[in-house]
Chain A
Amino acid sequence: MDEAFVPLSELVANLGSSPADLVDEDSGVHTYVTRFEIEVPVELDIGVDEHNRLFVGSIPPLYAVDTSLRPSYHRIRFVAERTEHSDGR
């Protein structure tokens, strides 16, 4: 995989990091996000590794520069939901 790219799982895990809770101690309000949806253009590097397995490398657009040769932007969208823990957390 090209070194500029990361496995798709890393991209999604990083983009889907838990948003911090919004806490207002004075008014006693604790707000948290229950569901979020992210949609971004991505560049993809799809190839076959030495074990004959298909790999999917991905990276959001690297440069905000308008060039004559435009990268081919694919699009990824995912939905993440807050998970309830069995121990009540």
Chain B
Amino acid sequence: MADENTAWQLEDFVDSLVVELDKTRETLAVKAVNKPLSYSVKELSLDLNTFPSYDGDQVRFVTAQPGQEGASKITIHLNSITDQQVRATTKLPGAQTDIPIARIPVDKATKKKLRRLGIQSVDDLEHLRQKNVDLGQVSDGDIDYSQLNKQIQKSRRDQQPPQVKSISLGFDEDSVPYLSIEGRHLSVDPAFPPVAAVNRRVAQVLSRGDGELRIRLEGQLEVDNELILALDEYSVVKVNVKAR
């Protein structure tokens, strides 16, 4: 036996077991090329003598060592299923825009409760919301969906943060001067009207788009001008604009 008897989680163990079984199938498949008869492994089961422990968060197992008695027995059965069954019982891997629950900045207890409800990603949560499932009710009020929703929005937003690329001076048809701010994702939250201040005075936002914002200029620009933009509730951009 190895010197270190590491504790392991059931999920990791089953993953390793499946990988080992796939390797066996590959080996047997190679043998089958030159042999008139070949065999494939259809079922595999393993009885394990282990000592489980629960730390209040996860269940871990330590494999029984020589001479140790009183171990619990876990039996794991692996059966072959068809690709149709796989499709029917397995969720497709997450889309590129999907965010795993682990990456949402919510407290550990909420993540744990979500995992217990089988919610692995933001898309899972979205799916439940579309089905009008009240998470507060199924979690005995422990999950505050409005708070969670804010964090989800923030995580989504973090994937496409606003970027300012350039600022220029322009004049509209009525010769009113405006600052044109060009960039990407400048209008990330439709429910949040951008707020602008030029030289510490609130300025009117004339128009907003994902690629451009126009801010009305009251009076003359100074040599150095401070522009502060709040593009959504998570981002404040402060830019120094030099007039030439």
Please give the residue numbers on chain A whose beta carbons come within 8 Å of chain B beta carbons, in ascending order.
1-2, 7-10, 12-13, 16, 18, 21, 32, 36, 43-48, 53-57, 69-83, 85, 89
Contact = CB atoms under 8 A, between A and B. Distances in A.
Contact of A44 (B31, B32, B42, B48): B48
A75 B24 contact: no
Most chain A C-beta atoms within 10 Å of own C-beta, residue among B37, B64, B65: B37
Contacts of A7: 20, 23
Interface of B: 1-2, 4-6, 8, 12-13, 15-17, 19-24, 27-28, 31-32, 35-49, 63-68, 71
Contact of B45 (A10, A44, A76): A76
Contacts of A75: 46-47
A2 B5 CA distance: 11
A81 B67 CA distance: 36
B204 to A, nearest CB: 55
21 contacts: A1-B2, A2-B2, A9-B19, A12-B21, A12-B24, A12-B41, A13-B23, A18-B31, A32-B37, A46-B5, A46-B13, A54-B8, A56-B16, A57-B2, A72-B65, A72-B68, A78-B45, A80-B41, A80-B42, A81-B42, A82-B39
Contact of A77 (B5, B24, B28, B44): B44
Contact of B43 (A9, A79, A89): A79
Nearest to A37: B43
B24 A69 contact: no
B2 A72 contact: no
Contact of B17 (A36, A43, A56): A56
B2 A45 contact: yes
